[in-house]
């Protein structure tokens, strides 16, 4: 998400992914000639405001900044002072995995699942012990144990798209199926022109209340 992709003139903000990538933006159904608008109500606006940038082309959320903040927190939490040699160390010029200027869908998905694994570790002997390598852990629990771990994770993990489905369920329950369809942008190409204006007004009204 970039500042240039946000229209913030009304009570409900409009986010158009990849607004500079053609008339329909950049998203999974743009190739079908469909536009995608995500409406952001007051609650979402409060969360986004601290992240807005003067440079409208910069991404609001950047792994590079998060990594720098994490390293700074580690240094502040050190129990022993840095040695002169440690203070003179420079970061690698070409690291294999360098933080970028934006998050990808895969990195977001991976972060959520890693957080789930940390919050709900497998019980008993299946849990990974402190300091235990992944290779050693897998050798200890064996194929049968790994199958149990997979089943445990399947029951205790969630995916980012489940947030979208949960919000859709709430909107459908509170204001009806038609409004949920409008907010989520579920429409066939044949009825896009017919319902475009109706959907935009209905979706804005819903997100002003719930978003």
Domain definitions of the chain by residue range = 3-52+160-210, 105-159
Residue 195, pLDDT above cutoff 60:
no
The pLDDT, as a whole number, for residue 87 is: 65
Q: Residues 188-203: what's their mean pLDDT?
A: 46
- Tell me the whole-structure pTM to 2 decimals: 0.65
The pLDDT, as a whole number, for residue 54 is: 93
The CA distance from 211 to 206, in Å, is: 8
SS3 15: strand
The CA distance from 161 to 110, in Å, is: 13
């Amino acid at each position: 998400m970039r500042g240039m992709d946000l229209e913030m003139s009304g009570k409900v903000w409009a986010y158009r992914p990849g607004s500079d990538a053609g008339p329909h933006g950049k998203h999974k159904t743009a190739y079908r000639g469909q536009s995608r608008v995500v409406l952001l109500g007051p609650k979402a606006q409060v969360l986004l405001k601290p992240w807005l940038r003067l440079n409208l082309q910069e991404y609001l959320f950047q792994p590079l900044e998060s990594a720098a903040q994490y390293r700074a927190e580690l240094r502040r939490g050190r129990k022993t002072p840095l040695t002169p040699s440690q203070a003179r160390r420079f970061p690698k010029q070409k690291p294999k995995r360098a933080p970028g200027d934006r998050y990808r869908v895969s990195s977001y998905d991976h972060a959520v699942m890693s957080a789930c694994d940390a919050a709900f570790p497998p019980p008993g002997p299946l849990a990974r012990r402190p300091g235990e390598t992944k290779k050693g852990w897998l050798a200890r629990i064996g194929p049968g144990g790994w199958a149990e771990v997979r089943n445990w994770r399947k029951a205790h993990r969630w995916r980012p798209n489940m947030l979208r489905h949960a919000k859709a369920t709430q909107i459908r329950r509170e204001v009806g199926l038609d409004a949920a369809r409008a907010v989520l942008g579920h429409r066939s190409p044949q009825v896009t022109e017919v319902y475009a204006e109706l959907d935009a007004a209905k979706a804005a009204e819903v997100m002003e209340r719930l978003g």
